[in-house]
Amino acid sequence: MIEGIHPVFQAILGTFVTWGLTAVGSAMVFVLDVENRALSQQILDTMLGFAAGVMLAASYWSLLAPAIEIAEQSPLYGPEGRWAFVPAAIGFGLGAFSMLFTEQLLPFLGLGSKPENWEKKDDDYNGNDVHKKAGEASTRSTSTVRRRKPSDHSIQPHDVESSAAIHDDAITSFVSAKDMSYRRVILLVIAITMHNFPEGMAVGVGFGSIGHAPGATFSNAVNLAIGIGLQNFPEGLAVSMPLRREGMSPFKAFMWGQLSGAVEPIGGLIGAAAVLYVQPILPYALSFAAGAMIFVVVDDLIPEAHQSGNSKLATIGTILGFIVMMAMDVALG
């Protein structure tokens, strides 16, 4: 992020920073003791709460406030900006409902449940299920043998076919378990990526709007990029840590975790270019990004941070995150 260069390049640099912080968060899988589930979950929930606080503060000071200021200076919204709230309200609503619409599409991609519930579903697909079926098959076979007469020493053809069928079912279940594991990995990355795209757009819009309102400054755009990067840190860990728990190697878990942030530079490029070349949409674009971010906070980050019984830690993290981002915006903006 270098002041004075073209806003599109600033947006690209800014989103590479946010992607980098996603990778740093994902790299925590190398140092955290994921086997100590209680401690690692407490750390993750506190960080998710911190991320929520950062995004809440950034949504107002870096996005909504500049959107309203830009609308107030436009003659399109009445004398002295009387109707300046209209583009902010419309953009905010569209941003939130776009994320809601995206959530409704997830079942069609096989993402009917939230990522945090997938780990619980592993019990239905792991090796224990295969062993359970094998045990049931063994019980049935033993029962069949006990029911035979002592004088019946012959092996009937249907017994061989039944045994082969049971063996094939066990193999099929094991293969399906492996396939489902990789499928859930891919879908988890898709879910986080879908949330990261509007965050990249928010950074792009922030840099593209520089100079169009008193609140749309280079410092505010940098603060927004840093804020989103800070909240990307726990998101990277939220991807890599469950994968490591499921037995994936630390390096592979890290690679999948950082990959979830790779879409942000694309979103930043689109956001910056859109507001640069279509000026009237600027207040709508800023508030759209704010609405999308608030939706992610309320619908995903806060519920996820509170679901494991660490609600107090998550709340403290949220308050600290809000204070840190507010201080950055006011002091450096």
Look up residue 64 and give its DSSP letter. Answer: I
Assigned domain for 255 exists: yes
How many helices (H) and strands (E) would you count in the chain?
13, 0
Give the pLDDT score at 71: 86
- DSSP code string of 205-242: HHHHTTTSSTT--HHHHHHHHHHHHHHHHHHHHHHHHH
Give the pLDDT score at 185: 54
Give the pLDDT score at 199: 81
Give the pLDDT score at 222: 87
Give the pLDDT score at 320: 94
Assigned domain for 271 exists: yes
Assigned domain for 286 exists: yes
Assigned domain for 176 exists: no
Assigned domain for 85 exists: yes
Assigned domain for 307 exists: yes
Give the pLDDT score at 239: 80
Assigned domain for 312 exists: yes
Give the pLDDT score at 314: 93
**What are the CB-based long-range contacts (under 8 Å, 24+) for 130-139?**
130/170, 130/173, 130/174, 130/177, 133/166, 133/169, 133/170, 133/173, 134/166, 134/170, 137/166, 137/169, 137/170
Give the pLDDT score at 332: 67
pLDDT of 70-116, one tens digit each?
A: 888 878 888 877 888 999 999 999 999 988 887 777 666 655 444 44
List, for the chain, all residue ranges whose pLDDT scores fall below the cut of 50. 112-155, 157-161, 163-168, 170-178, 180
Assigned domain for 62 exists: yes
The number of domains in the chain is 1
Taking the C-alpha atoms of residue 181 and residue 206, their distance in angstroms, rounded to an integer, is 38
Cβ contacts of 16 within 8 Å, gap of 6 or more: 265
Give 3-state DSSP helix, strand, coil % of the chain, rounded to 5.
Answer: 85, 0, 15
**In which domain, by residue range, is 294 found?**
7-113+189-332
Taking the C-alpha atoms of residue 204 and residue 210, their distance in angstroms, rounded to an integer, is 10
